[in-house]
Amino acid sequence: MHSKKLGFIGLGNMGGRMTRCLVDSGIEVVGFDPQPGAAKKAGAREAQDIGQIVDECELIMMSLPDSKVVENVMLQQGGILSHCRSGQVIVDLSTASAASTLRLHSLLQEKSVAYVDVGISGGAAAAEKGQLTLMVGGEESVIQGIEWAFSPIASKVVVMGGSSAGHTTKLLNNFLNAVSLAATAEVMVAGKKAGLDLQRLLDVFNSSSGVNFATINRFPSIIQGDYLEGGLTGKLMTKDLVLYADLLHQLGMTSLNSAGPLASFGLATALGYGDVISNRVVDAIGDISGGIRLYSSDN
C-alpha cells in the first residue's frame, strides 16, 4: 500500500480534478472513465476497463454520480466485486446512499476487501487546488494506511466513524448547503424586486444573523454576473436532497425542512437549469417572479 500507485474510476468534474492533483503530487494513477480522453486530460494512464484497474492496483478510488452507478461499477460482470482480492482498499468518493454503502461494505468484507466511504466538500474550485474537506467512514487502521492518497486532494480530513459515516455526513452537509442556497436565492430576488442595493444587502447579511455559505461565497460573485460555473448541478443537488429525505426515513425521522429546497431545485430543473450549476436556482426563482435577474449590464 506504499507504492504510490492507485486506480481511479470516474474522471468527471470532480474525479478528473482530484486525479490531476494526485498525479501532480507524484502518484501514479491508472484511470478509467467511459468518456474518451478523460484519463489523458487528468494525467492518468488509461485503463481499458474496470477489471484492469482492480487487477493492477491495491488502492482504488471512485468518484461517481450516485449509488446506482456505484452499484453498477461494483456488481456488474467484470466489475470490482468480480476482480477484487484480499487486502485491497476501495475508496468511494461519491455522494451516495448510506444504506447502499453498508450493503457494499458487507459484500466486500466477505472477500476481505476494505471499503472506505468519503464525502467531499468544496466543489470544483477546491478540487482543482487540492483543498477539499473529506468526511471519512471506515476502519481507522485502514484509513491511516491510505492517508498518502488523501493529502494531495484535501486540506482537511475528518474521520466520522465506521462504514457509511462519511456518506451520511455528506448528506447532512449537502442538505444545509441546499437550504442556504435556495433560501438566499429567494431573498436576493426579493431584495432586487424591492429596489435594494444588492451589494449593501449582502454586506448587511454577512455582518448579521442571516450570514451563511451562500451569502459569503456565492452571491458576491452572482450579483456581478459570475455564477461560478463548473460546480454541482441543479439535478445533482436535487438527487442529494432526495437521498437526505430517504436517510431521515431510514432513521425513523420526518424532514420538516426539505420541501422548500426540493421545490426550488425541482423548479430550476423544470425551467431548464438542471444541467447547469445549482446557483442558477436564483434565475429560476427570478423567472417566476417577473423575469428578475440579480445582474444586468446596466448595474
Q: What is the pLDDT of residue 1?
A: 43
CATH topology of domain 169-287: N-(1-d-carboxylethyl)-l-norvaline Dehydrogenase; domain 2 (1.10.1040)
- 235 pLDDT more than 60: yes
- 170 pLDDT more than 90: yes
What is residue 4's three-state secondary structure? Answer: coil
CA distance 284 to 265: 8
**C-alpha cell, 124:** 470544483
Catalytic sites, residue numbers: 170
Same fold, 5-161 and 169-287: no
Q: Is 296 exposed, middle or buried (0-12, 13-18, 19+ CB in 10 A)?
A: exposed
Other residues' Cβ atoms within 10 Å of the Cβ of residue 27? 19
Query: Taking CA 235 as the corner, what is the angle to CA 230 and CA 239, rounded to the nearest 5 degrees?
Result: 120
Domain ranges of the chain: 5-161, 169-287
Q: Is the pTM of this model over 0.85?
A: yes
Q: Please give the CATH architecture assigned to the domain spanning 5-161.
A: 3-Layer(aba) Sandwich (3.40)
Quick one: what percent of the chain has pLDDT higher than 90?
94
Query: Taking CA 98 as the corner, what is the angle to CA 280 and CA 89, rounded to the nearest 5 degrees?
Result: 105
- At 10-49, the pLDDT tens digits run 999 999 999 999 999 999 999 999 999 999 999 999 999 9
